[in-house]
Structure 1
Amino acid sequence: MRNDDMKPLSKKVFLKITPPGIGDIIGDKERLLKSLEKEFGKVEISQRILKAIYPLCREANWEITLTLVAHEGQWEIVRLEPGDTTKSHYGLAVDLGSTTVTMELVDLNSGEILAEESIFNHQIDFGDDILSRIFYTKSKPLHLKEVQESTLQSFRELMLMLSERTGVASETCGIMVVSGNTTMIHFLLGIDPWPIFEAPFTPVFNHTGFFDAQEISLPIEGLIYCVPSVANYFGGDILSGLLVSDLHKKEELGLFIDIGTNGEMVLGNKNFLLAGAGAAGPALEGGISKNGMKATDGAVDSVVIEDNILKLTTIGGSRPRGICGSGIVDILAQMLLNGWIDFSGHFNTGVTDRVIKKDGEYAVAYAWEDESATGEVLLFTQTDISQFMDTKAAANTMVAYLLDSLGVEATEVKRLYTAGAFGTYINLESAITIGLYPDLPRERFVSLGNGSLRGSYALLINGELLKEIMALQREVRYLEFGAATDFLTQMFAARFLPHTNFDLYPTVKAELIKRGRLRL
């Protein structure tokens, strides 16, 4: 069903143009542009479209459908088709994550999401973490080309999957919106991202503008728009999430948090936006542990301990093969509440037979040999906990530093928006218990889901948001956490569960007292 209120980035127009004749010798290109002039003003036309005019227009008896995209104050023709195809108008929204790439096929007449598909980013072949990929490509044009091609291959596979599901050829889409972190967009365009990680830590670009998909060998007859970045660690994925949160439109003080490979936060309201970001590492994706894994089938995603008995669930319901980020947060919270670990994260021995010593190190066996899918005992070790505590402390301190910069308390935050895969699937109580999130009334928390993808979709169906996203980019004030003199001191205080200052976590403190784990 057509939605006349839609204002998508692209527009399809059916034209019946008077054919050339004796005494009417205007060129085909000029004839086509003249027919658009009244409604669209000056219209751009690329060399690619110029080559498509003949013989298409003449064979169609000058009854044609044009796909146009508005950018930089004017329209550009991106596709020509014979006949009236205005009922078939599609676009693609993409979240280009460092671990996972997700793509949606959208009906731009109605706004309906026809299908969504996700796959692991093929860049993983060159390193699980972004820094490994950065070093692989540094000053090596052939390696950079490999990583770019792996990114594009992820896109092509998703386009094929969407086509097979819907019967809509993705290459017929006239517009694609891509949201990703600053490094991912550099890789997509085949641009060396090394400057992002070398002082003064500035990217090669913040904004790509619109460009032809065929410039990077994607089989789309249309343009690509990449959501701009603010800084090295503050990419278009975060700007997209901020856009859909509407934090920047409200009077109340809000806090936006997206924790993944990086940790990004924005504190503010309609009057100001204060942001900061830093590396969080692979801990929240299960990457710190030998038995850690990404959130796929067989990954432990939730843990509870009742009557000193550990119970778990896995993605897909199969026997466990490892543990992912949400499972890690759960197991730490549950072990803390039940006395299996102390407030510094060290194991307490003699509390349960699941706390064992292997290879000279204490660990919790969350699945014995006869319980696991691998036939091996699955362990979460003291080293794993220590590495996670670093990640948790960094995320906690980033939030504290933003609050301190404004001179406000966490309790003054009226709405806390969580975004990203981790923020979507994590158990909120567990996250607060270990001090990953502030201890606020639970009704103040809002899960945005995949904010990056939601932002891409929002821009795709409403071109007027382009002005808003560019205004957001300019208005965000970005803080360098690395320049903070007391950042490491605050991190040390946050390297306890939930924190060295229990008064910052009143509900956790009350639960620990109730369980006899903490004395008044």
Structure 2
Amino acid sequence: MKADEIKVTIITYDRTYDLTSVQGTKLKDLLDSTGISYSLPCTGAGRCGRCRVRFTQGAPEARDDEKAKLTAEEIFQGYRLLCRCILEDNCAISLTDAVDEENISIETVKKGTDQAIGKSDNLGIAIDLGTTTIAAALIRPATDSNRSDDPQSYEVLGTASCVNHQRKYGNDVISRIAAAEDSETAKELQSLVITDIEELIQELIREFGGGSTGDISNNPSIGAITIAGNTTMLHLLEGMDASGLGKYPYTPVSTAMVKMDSDRLFGSIRGAKLTILPGISSFVGADIVGGLFSLTLRGEERYFFIDLGTNGEMTFFDGENLKVTSAAAGPVFEAGGISCGVASIPGAISHVEIDETTSRAKYETIQRQGTSSAQPPIGLCGTAVCEITSELARSGIMDETGLLSDEYFDEGFPVTEDGQIRFTQQDIRNVQLAKAAILTGAGTLVGEMIPDKVYIAGGFGSHIIPEKIARLRMFPEGFDGKIIAAGNTSLKGAAMYTAAVLLGSESEAAADAKLGHITDTAQTVELAAIDSFDEAYLEAMNF
């Protein structure tokens, strides 16, 4: 062993790695070289403190920026920030204290089928390429002869999902746009997401496609692949310059539909028609267009459609015109920027109710797949963040301006019995900023009109209980009683388009025409250009 060599043991959820490195190596560089996945929510800037790992042996001296994010007790116990760690001596590091985002709960399309699948079946793939997660579905057109020419009628043979491994360059699109300014990093961002998608397709073929190996390179039954996603994610996937999306006037290279042979992007997938759905603007992407494409709507109906994510993309059809906009809501609906916030993973608190008599919180956690027992709480996911805010307002523990009562102002409101998971005054302020953006954007789009239906899409929208967030005042009053949890409409739209391609050129042309009508007629509303927006936004902060 050389003088500057050190032994490093890495403990993950499912494996232990015994490695050799050299003194002065950054921990994240060692993980990269070994192929061990990790997340850097703030792109490794040391701002968020959420990439903590625990040294069980040989912990390096804590740096000043680590001391600002970790308590003295945590430092004594061996906790450090992955993005700051420099390895100087033999050590053992546990990554199991970090949030296990690999098990994130993702809303897909619908349950798979029990019907046998043959090698000659006409199969296709739908992909929802999200910033945080990627969902995929293996489909085929419906076998019912009376409905087989309807692209809305398809069977989901199976679904699969994973985290978007671009997360090592940040949890948000702005971080990834900045990272992609380096050409080599841009290539890696593209490679990461291509690998994620290929592995999801392999998993689907292996588990549900009638094959035993998941070798998609020699499987001729995959006839079509459709991908939907926000504009930034599709730029990074296609290798387009994303820098224009991160600065005014926020100009994309293109939002047009793209059709190509699958092997132009995916080397292991040959012979399939690959379609990337069109978007409308930098902030209203193909995920929203796919969602609109998936909805079954009557022409005379007024409907409001929103994907509650970082950008709060929303649309309103008033019976004649389709208007679209996006409101900068931030990552709150995915529990980002929340002191005890976590992704929708096993152990995340998903629902909260405050007992009026005791002022104590009752909660539910997300269960691990395949288990029936409740998981110990590890933090708050997006639905819980909104529900507890609403509950604090309902119970009078928080006033209409968002101010916690004196009892909880300094330390926050305890959600768990041991007080380890709390909801703080700053958390409430972050929720206020997000919900004010949504309320103001929605109010601007609908004006004095009242929609007949309100569709909420995305992972948050899949689990939302409208009555439990009523006190948030996140939507105009006219939306009460009309909210429909629409699920993952981006994936549904991609599945519908895939079915259309599988059904033949006539069906594909009809689907193209419908998508073209959506993108061509959509009128983009720039909220920042509206004189009254700031005043309305400030008023919308109250509960």
TM bracket (short chain): 0.7 to 0.9
User: What do the CA deviations read for 1:54-76 (whole angstroms, capped 9, x no partner)?
Assistant: xxxxxxxxxxxxxxxxxxxxxxx
Q: Which residue of 2 aligns with 1:114?
A: 157
For the residue of structure 2 that corresponds to 1:128, the secondary structure is coil
Residue 436 of structure 2 contacts residue 541 of structure 2 at CA under 8 Å; is this kept in 1?
yes
Render the CA deviation track for 1:104-153: whole Å, top value 9, x for unaligned.
01124633211001111111111011111111112x11010011111112
Contact 1:432-1:439 within 8 A present in 2 as well:
no
SS at match of 1:195: helix
Aligned counterpart in structure 1 of residue 523 of structure 2, from 458, 470, 477: 477
Once the 2 structures are TM-superposed, how far is the Cα of residue 245 of structure 1 from its aligned partner? 2.0
Equivalent in 191, 200, 204 of residue 149 of structure 1: 191
Give the aligned partner of residue 212 of structure 1: 261
Q: Report the Cα offset of residue 88 of structure 1.
A: 2.1
User: Partners in 2 of 1:446 and 1:368 — Cα distance?
Assistant: 33
| Correspondences of 1:285-364 after superposition (within 5 Å) | 285-306=334-355, 307=357, 308-316=359-367, 317-350=374-407, 355=408, 361-364=410-413
- How many angstroms apart in 2 are the aligned matches of 1:393 and 1:132? 24
- Give the SS at the match of 2:207: helix
Residue of structure 1 in register with 2:134 after alignment = 101
CA distance in 2, matches of 1:402, 1:339: 32
Mark the CA change 1:109 to 1:424 in structure 2 (over 3 Å): closer, same or farther: closer
Equivalent residue in structure 2 for 1:201, among 246, 250, 255: 250
Corresponding residue of 1:30: none
* Secondary structure of 1:367's aligned partner: coil
**Following the alignment from structure 1 to structure 2, what is the Cα–Cα distance between the partners of residues 299 and 279?**
25
User: Does the CA-based 8 Å contact 1:92-1:106 persist in structure 2?
Assistant: yes
SS in 2 for 1:262: coil
Letter in 2 for 1:468: K
1:74-85 maps to which residues of 2 (within 5 A)?
none
Instruction: Please state whether the residue corresponding to 1:345 is helix, strand or coil.
Output: coil
Question: Does 2:289 match 1:239?
Answer: yes
Name the amino acid aligned to 1:101: I
Deviations 1:445-493 (A, max 9, x none): 2222111011011111122212101111101001111212221111100
Q: Is the 8 A contact 1:392 1:495 kept in 2?
A: yes
Relative to the length of structure 2, the TM-score reads: 0.69
User: Could you say which residue in structure 1 is the equivalent of 2:206?
Assistant: 164
Aligned match of 2:494: 456
Question: Which of 216, 219, 227 is the aligned partner of 2:277?
Answer: 227
Alignment size in residue pairs? 392
- 1:280 paired residue among 305, 321, 329: 329
User: What is the aligned counterpart of 1:416 among 450, 454, 461?
Assistant: 454
What amino acid is the match of 1:129?
A: D
Deviations 1:156-178 (A, max 9, x none): 22112212212344443121000
In the alignment, the residues of structure 1 paired with residue 201 and residue 436 of structure 2 have an alpha-carbon distance, to the nearest angstrom, of 39
Question: Which runs of 5 or more structure 2 residues have no equivalent in the other structure?
Answer: 1-117, 144-153, 368-373, 501-507
Q: Is the 8 A contact 1:364 1:380 kept in 2?
A: yes
- CA distance in structure 2 between the partners assigned to 1:471 and 1:95 by the alignment: 21
Equivalent positions of 1:426-505 (< 5 A) are 426-440=464-478, 443-462=481-500, 463=508, 464-497=510-543
Structure 1 distance, partners of 2:337, 2:465, is 19
Consecutive unaligned residues of structure 1, counting only runs of 5 or more, are 1-84, 370-375, 498-520
TM-score calculated relative to the size of structure 1: 0.72
Distance of 2:431 and 2:277 partners within structure 1: 31
| Aligned counterparts of 2:318 and 2:123: Cα–Cα separation in 1 | 34
The structure whose residues are more often helix, as a share, is 1
Per the alignment, residue 382 of structure 1 pairs with 425
Return the letter of the residue paired with 2:524: Y
Change (3 A) 1:136 1:250: same
Deviation at 1:390, TM superposition (A): 0.4
1:128 alignment partner AA: N
Structure with larger Rg? 1
CA distance in 2, matches of 1:449, 1:165: 23
Report the Cα offset of residue 320 of structure 1: 0.7
SS of the residue 2:125 aligns to: strand
Q: Deviations over 1:370-413 (max 9, x none)?
A: xxxxxx71121111111111011001110011123xxx24xx22
Contact 1:250 1:269 in 2 (8 A): no
